[in-house]
Amino acid sequence: MRKITTQDLEAIAIGSTVLGTGGGGDPYIGKLMAQNAIEQFGEVPLLDPEEVPDDTLIVPVAAFGAPVILLEKLFNGKEALAAFEMMEKYLGEKIFATMPAEAGGLNGVIPFAVAAEKNIPIIDADGMGRAYPRLEMVTFTLYDIPASPITQADEKGNRSIYHTINNVWGETMVGSTVIPMGGSCFIACYPMSGKQMKEAAVRNVISKAQKLGLAIGEAKQKGISPLNNLLSAGDGKLIFKGKIIDVNVQTDGRWNKGICRLEGLEGYAGQQMQLDFQNEFLIATSGEKVIASVPDLITVLDLETAEPLTIESLQYGYRLNVIAMPCDEKWKSKAGIALGGPSAFGYDSPYVPI
């Protein structure tokens, strides 16, 4: 166990955005909310999964909706806590700890605000090891852990509780109400025991996010390549270097969908790459060749600083490095590829690990 400080959150927010593969929401507001909560209520204990007793109750908390909406529709700061406390009241049991549902961006840091205010620990784990656009696309589903009950809260004070027949229906039901809520809300979901968490979660994600964030920051201080330092820290691979020549982002329900096209620079001059996305980057192709795809991670970085960029921030002319990192081993199983691989998003190409 170690305590997470406001300074630690700086690196965790950057690293979570790297792991978010273009999605998960811009972490800036979430980081400020978490830092404010830590300043007010104290530092948050970060627990290794093995430190969690088997018979305790664990509940992840997350923002839910279209990330682009969060650029204009701000939170009031109480939605995540409201959803979390609804779950505790509904189950009639004290929640021992929380954790991110996904590692990406905003959702990598928001749970710290809840943990600080509730004076509970955060577990160094999540349900993806990255970000995914759908509620059922978590390793918890692979281990038959129900998403229900799901509690939902928005900034206006609306509250809902869902019991669904499976996790896909959880996505459908919450997704149908988030639109009239203004496109974003907070949820608590996948209540599980410590024993279930140890089996189903992707471990050490918060520590990994912090390691990636520090790799970028320390490289700048030492005057070395932040890209190379990041690739080394994340076991990543540079797959393209280029300039955006076209980007089309459309909000479809609660998703940012579209395509980003890049024209090669330097060693990639004369080549082009296409990045398809649905909240997160799904597949990277050059001509007819698939270079990388889900469940592996595809992330774009500023060409000079290696700062990770979310999809809603991309603009024509941006110069980027495109990197890929291997997914957690849980996603490489037959069930994992079926749930979060290319075919889950309608692509015919098989998953080929980077």
Calculate the alpha carbon distances from 283 to 2, 145, 257, 276, 280 in Å: 37, 28, 13, 6, 9
Q: What is the pLDDT of residue 74?
A: 77
Q: What is the pLDDT of residue 130?
A: 96
Q: What is the pLDDT of residue 102?
A: 95
pLDDT in tens, 78-91: 999 999 999 999 99
* pLDDT over threshold 80, residue 31: yes
Phi and psi at residue 299, to the nearest 5°: -135, 140
Question: Strand, helix or coil at 350?
Answer: coil
- Quote the percentage of the chain above a pLDDT of 70: 99
Q: What is the pLDDT of residue 256?
A: 78
- Quote the percentage of the chain above a pLDDT of 90: 86
What number of H helices and E strands is found in the chain?
10, 18
Q: What is the pLDDT of residue 25?
A: 78
b/e map of 246-263 (b: 16 or more CB within 10 Å)?
ebebeeeebbbbbebbbe
* pLDDT over threshold 90, residue 65: no
The structure tokens 């090891």 sit at 129
Residue range 291-299: mean pLDDT, rounded: 98
Residue 220's pLDDT band (cuts 50, 70, 90): confident
Say if residues 251 and 68 touch (Cβ distance below 8 Å). yes
Q: What is the pLDDT of residue 27?
A: 86
Residue range 250-274: mean pLDDT, rounded: 90
Gap between the Cα atoms of 214 and 30, Å rounded: 19
Gap between the Cα atoms of 4 and 109, Å rounded: 11
Query: H helices within the chain, ranges in order?
Result: 6-19, 28-41, 79-91, 110-118, 139-142, 167-178, 194-200, 205-222, 226-234, 334-340
Work out the number of other CB atoms within 10 angstroms of the CB of residue 166: 14
Most confident segment among 101-110, 217-226, 329-338: 329-338
Phi and psi at residue 272, to the nearest 5°: -130, 155
